[in-house]
Amino acid sequence: MSRLRRFVSPIFALAVGISALTAPALAQDQTFRIADPEGGEIEAGVWLPETSDGAARPLVVISHGNGGWYRGHHDAAEALARAGFVVAALTHPGDNWRDDSRSTQLSDRPRHLSLLIDHMTGEWSGPVAIDDGRIGAFGFSAGAFTVTSIIGGDSDPALIARHCEEEPEVFVCGLLAQQPIDTAAWRPRNHDPRVKAAVIAGPALGMAFTGESLAAVRIPIQLWQAADDEILPSPFNAEPIRDRLGRAPEYHLVADAGHFDFLPPCAPEMAAQIPALCRSKPGFDRAAFHETFNREVVRFFSETI
């Protein structure tokens, strides 16, 4: 999808990797692959606490946005691991920096996240035990769509089509015009009740979820919205989720933030190569915001799982 590739390229993955090297290393930070029963493998990584007292730890799984990869939210993963969580993130097949051939088939993604939970609570044999009754999920952008699906939101591609008929100029509808949704392959229901709490940041396509399904979601939710989101603008994305959940979320509206401010601060190499992902509004301090953001994410999961 060429329009997406102008925002997300192989340079993105390289630069995020460079920025990750500036963070203090944890005792464990492992990469692995999961077999997909529908074919192929899923790349994933795990961050572990530096020390273990033998107690089973809660698990947080992370879903990245369109064109990203498993290390795309490394700073949040590291903050959670330092706080005692096991954190696992994946690279969504068909929607990552190497391959965007299925970027608009967002309903594929929740199944990937459930497979990651299966692996981490089953065959994974790491040095830290996981408490399979304490599982949370974190998602950004398309990853937030993924997490909203997995906590019980049923999606309808007809609602997306209607949105794009009414708002054809918004960014996401431009993507869909280039790569239309395969409605016959759409998976409307993807609920995984093992997820007990969720952080949703800059969600995509909130209008695609049915009100009835969102009203049935009553687990704790922390919802973040960028006040100046140029990619997923108000009122089509965050508000339909915020206003229709069965339990009011902990809601954060981030003044002056743009969509990509939910990504970690860029290393200088990345800022020079792809400024569209790294540029913030004048006066907005992305590094300071991420200190607050990561602290609040850790607090939320510490209180809810």
Domain that holds residue 250: 2-304
Distance CA 264, CA 55 (A): 30
Q: Is 224 helix (H, G, I), strand (E, B) or coil?
A: strand
| 273 close to 15: Cβ distance less than 8 angstroms | yes
Q: What is the pLDDT of residue 23?
A: 40
Q: What is the pLDDT of residues 69-110, one digit of tens each?
A: 999 999 999 999 999 999 999 999 999 999 988 989 999 999
> Facing residues of 47 across strands?
29, 87
Q: What's the structural domain count of the chain?
A: 1
Please, which pLDDT band fits residue 32 given cuts at 50, 70 and 90? very high
| 66 close to 95: Cβ distance less than 8 angstroms | yes
- What CATH number is attached to the domain comprising 95? 3.40.50.1820
Give the range among 15-24, 133-142, 283-292 with minimum mean pLDDT: 15-24
Q: What is the pLDDT of residues 146-158, one digit of tens each?
A: 999 999 999 999 9
Structure tokens at 122: 């089953």
User: How far are the Cα atoms of 42, 58, 67, 68 from residue 10, in angstroms, in the given order?
Assistant: 18, 33, 10, 10
Q: What is the pLDDT of residue 294?
A: 99
Q: What is the pLDDT of residue 13?
A: 43
pLDDT at 58 over 80: yes
